[in-house]
A = this chain, B = another copy of it.
Amino acid sequence: MHEHDVVGIGNAIVDIIGRCDDAFLARHGYAKGSMQLVDAAAAAKLYDVMGPAVEISGGSGANTIVGVASFGGRAGFIGKTADDQFGRIFGHDIRTAGVTFTTPAAVKGSEPTGRCLVLVTPDGQRTMHTFLGVSPQLGRGEVDPALVASARIVYLEGYLFDRPEAKAAFRQAAGIAAPAGRQVALSLSDAFCVDRHREEFLNFIRASVDILFANEAEITSLYQTNSFEDAARKAQTDTRLAALTRSEKGSVILTADQWITVPADPVAKVVDTTGAGDLYAAGFLFGLARGRDLETAGRLGSLAAAEVISYLGARPATKLSDLAQAKGLFT
């Protein structure tokens, strides 16, 4: 198998994105900005009451991987779809983005392909309800060892910790990457997800993670502190490299002895923040895989994050390699 820059493992999700006002969130008791797991019935009930929507392929890790490909990186993805319309949409969109995606769809009669109901408020914030469907049934047997071993960096989506089968696939991938001399990257995904699996995350990070991605809420949840600085210093001791994102305050890149601050890129109008963290990771991982210095990698992350929040959906609509070239970040 030819070499990949980054191979990701995550939930295969189609986003169903609709607009709502703050009153709608309040009426239904939804916490703005959160991601909540729901079952099929709850997802159907919410869909019935939310407004007109658009369907765009999503999934946190998949968004990152498509971002890497949009930068011109060689990228692969491992994730589970069903043999249904959303599965075909997910597979089409990721393959035609240039990503290696060979995970077989589940046979007919399985749970459906996962979906995420995304409610976007006028301030551009997103509130998510995810029905994972067949996605967590990604078994050990479906992690293609050759694909994982072909990647300079293996990228794992923290959301997979929510289901035991997926977690096993996750650990398997990390187990293949390390002996092959590959790097393992992990995104914490969501503060509530961190809260559900804090000890497991900490153990996994200390034992197996080379590159850690988290936003402010996630890293402070991981270390149960109110201080970002405090959490960041703890991350410095637990992992070789961490990239911590802070929305409009930009990001902080940490190694044992470095603390690099990277500003956020300006955005004319924030339309939909969905995918900001995912696309930051895309730029950062692409930069790393291609041997860029940490600050440049962070700036590629800022560029990709600013791009994706300027329209609806979490997949890049413009070639990120063109944007990076225009900014002089491709040399």
Residue ranges of A at the interface with B (Cβ–Cβ < 8 Å): 19, 47-57, 66, 84-86, 89, 92-94, 96-97, 311-313, 315, 317
Contact = CB atoms under 8 A, between A and B. Distances in A.
Given A19-B317, A317-B19, A52 B97 contact: yes
A96 B52 contact: yes
A123 to B, nearest CB: 15
Contacts of A66: 52
A54 B52 contact: no
A93 to B, nearest CB: 4
A317 B47 CA distance: 18
Contacts of A53: 89, 92-93
A122 to B, nearest CB: 10
Given A19-B317, A52-B94, 8 more contacts: A47-B92, A50-B96, A51-B96, A51-B97, A52-B57, A52-B92, A52-B93, A312-B317
Contacts of A317: 19, 312
A54 B85 contact: no
Contacts of A312: 317
A134 to B, nearest CB: 14
A313 B85 CA distance: 20
B54 A56 contact: yes
Contact of A85 (B48, B49, B85, B94): B85
B89 A55 contact: yes
Contact of A55 (B49, B52, B55): B55
